[in-house]
Amino acid sequence: MVNVQPIKGVQGQADERLRETDNPSSQVALFGPDQPLRLDCGVDLTPFQIAYQTYGTLNADRSNAILVCHALTGDQHAANVHPVTGKSGWWETLLGPGRALDTDRYFIICSNVIGGCMGSTGPSSTNPATGKPWGLDFPIITIPDMVRAQAMLIDRLGIDTLFSVVGGSMGGMQVLQWCVAYPKRVFSALPIACSTRHSAQNIAFHELGRQAVMADPDWRQGRYFDYGTHPHRGLGVARMAAHITYLSDAALHRKFGRRMQDRDLPTFSFDADFQVESYLRHQGSSFVERFDANSYLYLTRAMDYFDIAADHNGVLAQAFRGTGTRFCVVSFTSDWLFPTSESRATVHALNAGGARVSFAEIETDRGHDAFLLDVPEFLEIAHAFLQSAAAARGLPQAGN
């Protein structure tokens, strides 16, 4: 009999994850019935809440605030220990004292997106009408909805204009949407490894992930909370698929090649003979411990729907016409999920709209994930762009 090691269905940290949904280990802004969130699908979401972390200090004239927008499976814990996994923040390469997102100089806000599962209202939150998790009764949300909710948070914090909005991947989509929806409220913008609309191939990969989740009988039409199950296996498979797209062929080759896992010869089995196999299985298993399957469906859908030009008569440049925001657009040479051509299209539209824009394509073999990694050239460019924007904004140097 051939050996088999299917992906593990770990429930390990499920309790911590569920607790975070309604009562997160973060600051929370509650928006009551007087402040509904008007969604693109036509629904008024109310009441709702946004969970967020802040780093650094808001200055007296409230001019040093930076909003960090997280990616699909990210959350508000950008630079602190994660309350579920115990791991360090996902953007500590960029965010901290003396770094590009300098906590000695700026006041940095990072909020969980609407539809997420770490404390902002989403499908795993309790639906006040039923006292049970929303599940698929949660309305479909869009990137503009996420940004509209963030703007309400920024209002709540008493901030009129953000010094900068920064993010990669789905976070970069939010950055661009901020500049389109609230051009006067964004002094500078750093959209990284993203695009103004999701490509057919990217939609295809997302649909694959959704089908993997929905194919898991433990998903139970999204009502897994009622049954005490969670579609670990389906979500794990979805994560494996997504993870391949986050890396480059070259990075996989350098990292793993065809090296075997703890052995020299093939086992002639379905064991994880190759290191890349056990790595992927680990990625799948560890992800399901910290993420809600329905959130994954909703957030991938939001990215698929994103299409700035479609909201502007099909003319992307119209979306940015007359903007006063300073842009720095960043792409990575080996990113095949959001290739440089997408960023170039964004830059062309910004130029056509008369924007002040710089563009950096960073040479790296680390794929889409490069924006989360210690890629010195990228970190330096982000640092330099924000310093230059800070000077233009008249912000004092750190420590002054």
Active site residues: 169, 335, 368
| Span near a second copy by CB under 8 A; candidates 48-56, 90-98, 99-107, 272-280 | 272-280
Site for a second copy in 44-73 (CB under 8 A): none
Site for a second copy in 306-335 (CB under 8 A): 307, 310
Q: How far is the CB of 203 from a second copy (least distance, A)?
A: 5
Structure tokens given for 204:
């295809």
Q: How far is the CB of 77 from a second copy (least distance, A)?
A: 28
Structure tokens given for 97:
């004292």
CA–CA separation, 148 and 164 (whole Å) = 16
Structure tokens given for 223:
């009502």
Q: How far is the CB of 196 from a second copy (least distance, A)?
A: 12
CB closer to a second copy out of 184 and 259: 259
Task: Using CB under 8 A, pick the residue from 274, 333, 352, 365 that binds a second copy.
Answer: 274
Residue 298's nearest CA partner among 106, 41, 79 is 41
Number of neighbouring beta carbons within 10 Å of residue 216: 22
Task: Using CB under 8 A, pick the residue from 30, 32, 38, 41 that binds a second copy.
Answer: 41
Q: How far is the CB of 279 from a second copy (least distance, A)?
A: 8
Do strands 48-55 and 27-31 pair parallel, antiparallel, or not at all (unpaired)? antiparallel
| Span near a second copy by CB under 8 A; candidates 25-33, 70-78, 193-201, 316-324 | 193-201
Q: How far is the CB of 137 from a second copy (least distance, A)?
A: 6
CA–CA separation, 307 and 279 (whole Å) = 34
237 lies in the binding site for a second copy (CB under 8 A): yes
Task: Using CB under 8 A, pick the residue from 72, 94, 272, 349 that binds a second copy.
Answer: 272
Task: Using CB under 8 A, pick the residue from 98, 266, 376, 396 that binds a second copy.
Answer: 266
Q: How far is the CB of 199 from a second copy (least distance, A)?
A: 6
Site for a second copy in 123-152 (CB under 8 A): 136-140
CB closer to a second copy out of 74 and 284: 284
Side chain identity at residue 92, one-letter code: E
375 neighbors 252 (Cβ within 8 angstroms): no
CA–CA separation, 174 and 112 (whole Å) = 12
Side chain identity at residue 160, one-letter code: D
To 10 degrees, the CA torsion angle through 190, 193, 194, 198? 180
Structure tokens given for 121:
């209202």
Cα angle, residue 183 at apex, residues 139 and 175 outer, rounded to 5°:
55
Quickly list DSSP for 215-233: HSGGGGGGTHHHHT---HH
Site for a second copy in 4-33 (CB under 8 A): 4, 6-7
CA–CA separation, 272 and 280 (whole Å) = 10
Task: Using CB under 8 A, pick the residue from 222, 289, 290, 360 that binds a second copy.
Answer: 222
227 lies in the binding site for a second copy (CB under 8 A): no
Which residues are within 8 A (CB) of 231 and not within 5 positions of it... i.e. 6 or more apart?
213, 216, 218, 219, 224, 293
236 lies in the binding site for a second copy (CB under 8 A): yes
Residue where the block lists tokens 């929370």 = 28
CA–CA separation, 118 and 295 (whole Å) = 10
Q: How far is the CB of 208 from a second copy (least distance, A)?
A: 5
Site for a second copy in 331-370 (CB under 8 A): 336, 339
Helix (H, G, I), strand (E, B) or coil at 10: coil
Task: Using CB under 8 A, pick the residue from 241, 317, 373, 384 that binds a second copy.
Answer: 241
Q: How far is the CB of 10 from a second copy (least distance, A)?
A: 13
Residue where the block lists tokens 């999204």 = 222
Side chain identity at residue 268, one-letter code: F
Total residues binding a second copy (CB under 8 A): 67
Task: Using CB under 8 A, pick the residue from 297, 349, 370, 390 that binds a second copy.
Answer: 297
Phi-psi region of 222 (alpha: psi -120 to 50; beta: other; left: phi over 0): left
Structure tokens given for 99:
């770094």
Point out which residues bind a second copy (CB under 8 A): 1-2, 4, 6-7, 40-42, 136-140, 197-201, 203-205, 207-208, 210-212, 214-217, 221-222, 233-234, 236-237, 240-241, 244, 247, 249, 252-253, 255-258, 266, 268-270, 272-274, 276-277, 280-281, 284, 297, 301, 304-305, 307, 310, 336, 339
